[in-house]
Structure 1
Amino acid sequence: MAPILLNCMGNDHSEYIQEQVQVKNPYLDTMEEDILYHFSLGTKTHNLPEMFGDIKFVCVGGSANRMKAFAQFMHQELKLTGNPKDLQDICEGTDRYCMYKVGPVLSISHGMGVPSISIMLHELIKLLHHAQCRDVVLFRLGTSGGVGLAPGTVVITDKAVDYSFQPRYEQVVLGKVITRSTELDKGVAKELLQRSSELPNLPTVIGNTMCTHDFYEGQGRLDGALCSFSHEEKLEYLRKAHEAGVRNIEMESTVFAAMSRVCGLRAAVICVALLDRFEGDQITAPHDVLVEYQQRPQVLVSHFIKKRLAQAI
């Protein structure tokens, strides 16, 4: 039976007392072996508690190269022994995702869009459960389009919302639509905001993040292969989004928030805005500027992790 998750302080998700990462599938207990196919791992072929039992922080992001770079960055920040360039991809047996372990930190790529990250999350949550991990904090690090924000601004997500600005994720199961809440841990968000104030050149806000199912039409871009709306209609939609508290747009946050919440994981989404969508659709900043922007969520989360580890000593 999955461990019981207690909520001792009303509806504040940050007050959950977590005994162990949960799964919500009774059939897993009846399986002789659980093969985590897209990670190239399994409960019989690998000693998951030995490999991953000390994990306290999981950081996920779309790009394999970016998450490898983050793992190397964390290796340096935690002052671990060895050469960070020698880090091995735990998922090297597959080309779907990459995974690097750096002390108590796991860095994993999730690809682009809800379907890709949802597959990764199913196997990640099962991995943490099989490894008997406890008190894990899960972060999604990424890039996004800002809504009324200067490029380079980091957005810590309050609620992940859908196309109609509602905090929900709709999953079709056996032909029926299941709706799940997408509220994220407020305590972690507040702590991240506090940590951002301790770092130079890191403009940061808390706001809602809109998750769409594609990069072009779903986000109201005028530069895709298809466009069935006017420039004025685009701006009106963005204005409505901004009035609803939306400060950035990306493509993974709703399922990330929903699955984390159902399984009792404290989670946060931290994305940098690469442009203000009121000003345009195409990303035109120089490469070196974009690289620095993309590092900002990583710097913030690294600072958060180091502070948490120092407090635990």
Structure 2
Amino acid sequence: MPCDCVAVEGRAPHQNGCKKSANGAAAASHHPHRKTYDEETEGAEERHVNDLRYPDGSVRLRNPHIELMDQDILYHLALGSGSHDLVEMFGDVKFVCMGGTPKRMEQFAHTIMAEIGHKLPCGTTLQDISQFSYRYSMYKVGPVLSVSHGMGIPSVGILLHELIKLMYHARVREPVFFRIGTCGGVGYEGGTVVISEEAVDGSLKNALDVNVLGNTISRPAKLDKRLVRELRGLADPEDPYDTVTGKTMCTYDFYEGQGRLDGAFCEFNESDKMEYLERIHKAGVVNIEMESLAFAALTHHAGIKAAVVCVTLLDRLKGDQVLAPKEVLDEWQQRPTKLVCRYIKRYLQMKGRLSLDGHGSIAVKSPRRFKLVQQESETYD
């Protein structure tokens, strides 16, 4: 059987790495023109993302009702499409970085500001754009948004709905979302950085089940494979810790849902717990947390490239409680931040966009509506 490869510029067939087996067939593992599984899935992901964007790369909402509204109030961010000039405020955003607590994301904002050489106008400081929401904190550092997402699937889900709408109203092109956080390792010691390949629930299902009007809808919880590979490639061999990839199990609960024996309720024993943890470990789960399933499912559904980078605080195969000293935990929590900063800095260097001026200030479109949005966010329950 003849080889089906074609001549590559300057080369004849069979000189570009193609090898024949004994029966004359090209060996698939060495064929330069046969796509691997990863390449095919990455191609499918690219097509999915492109299908959900406008031709200029900006985010397209999967909700026809928004365009018919007089204004869209983002309650939990204390922003609105009628009250704020969202294009002016956020139109240059490229990266949205999310983490659990307001303090951690304020620290991240200062870190990324130093990394990319962002300068604030003299006499100004970073501003919490969503301070009047009293729910989430948001800081803008040039093309980077740093936002706290709270704890658990409901909290991160609410935030993502409004952040995705914010991207739409601001006409942001090809945004990249990161979740930076902490987790429990499964077979990995505390301090290990984990880049999630995909998110699964407690039964290892790679989808988020959402109840809509009494019906259960399953949304695939996919993360961008190319982004995972690029992040993994930025792990420095000199780092005094391991950086690994694998499946992330996301639960709806910190105690029973994660198989802990130290909650207020526990109706299983140590043997049951260990059997479960060993089983999910063999299935490829390397860490456990509480936000990745919603984060992966909603960003994928919106056609937004996203990645989850966490640091383990303990190995769950060895215990349930976090016992490392605070100063150690503080250093560990900087490790995912360093990796994401490397990615952002490299991207901006390639685009020639380092040392950016400006400061995420509020751009008011309508003072009356601006005041109403603040009042709505303060009183909304």
TM-score of the superposition, structure 1-length normalised? 0.95
Amino acid paired to 2:339: L
Equivalent residue for 1:129?
168
Q: Deviations over 1:206-238 (max 9, x none)?
A: 100000001000000001110010000000000
1:157-236 matches, cutoff 5 A: 157-197=196-236, 200-236=239-275
Q: Deviations over 1:67-108 (max 9, x none)?
A: 000001111111122389920000011110000000100000
| SS across alignment from 1:169 | strand
Instruction: Go from structure 1 to structure 2 and tell me whether the alpha carbon gap of 1:219 and 1:72 turns closer, same or farther (over 3 Å shift).
Output: same
**1:14–1:266 CA contact under 8 A, matched in 2:** no
Equivalent residue for 2:290?
251
For 2:178 and 2:60, locate their aligned partners in 1 and report how far apart those are by CA, in whole Å: 17
**Alignment: residue pair count:** 305
Amino acid paired to 1:100: Y
Unpaired runs of 5+ in structure 1? 1-8
Q: Deviations over 1:121-166 (max 9, x none)?
A: 0000000010000111100000000000011001100010011112
Amino acid paired to 2:213: L
Structure 1 stretches of at least 4 aligned residues deviating more than 6 Å after TM superposition? none
Equivalent residue for 1:276?
315
| SS across alignment from 1:93 | helix
Equivalent residue for 1:80?
118
Q: Quote the offset at 1:11 in angstroms.
A: 3.5
Which structure carries more strand by proportion? 1
Instruction: Go from structure 1 to structure 2 and tell me whether the alpha carbon gap of 1:259 and 1:149 turns closer, same or farther (over 3 Å shift).
Output: same
Q: Deviations over 1:232-271 (max 9, x none)?
A: 0000000111011100000011111011001110000001
1:293 and 2:332 matched: yes
For 1:51 and 1:125, locate their aligned partners in 2 and report how far apart those are by CA, in whole Å: 15
Equivalent residue for 2:87?
49
* Percentage of pairs with the same residue: 51
The higher radius of gyration belongs to 2
Equivalent residue for 2:78?
40
| SS across alignment from 2:234 | helix
| SS across alignment from 1:196 | coil
Amino acid paired to 2:106: K
Q: Quote the offset at 1:201 in angstroms.
A: 2.2
TM-score of the superposition, structure 2-length normalised? 0.78
Q: Quote the offset at 1:10 in angstroms.
A: 5.0
Unpaired runs of 5+ in structure 2? 1-38, 353-381
| SS across alignment from 1:77 | helix
Q: Quote the offset at 1:23 in angstroms.
A: 1.4
Equivalent residue for 1:63?
101
Equivalent residue for 2:191?
152
Amino acid paired to 2:139: Y
Q: Quote the offset at 1:22 in angstroms.
A: 2.3
| SS across alignment from 2:191 | coil
Q: Deviations over 1:35-56 (max 9, x none)?
A: 0000000001100000000000
For 2:192 and 2:92, locate their aligned partners in 1 and report how far apart those are by CA, in whole Å: 33
Root-mean-square deviation (CA), in Å? 1.5
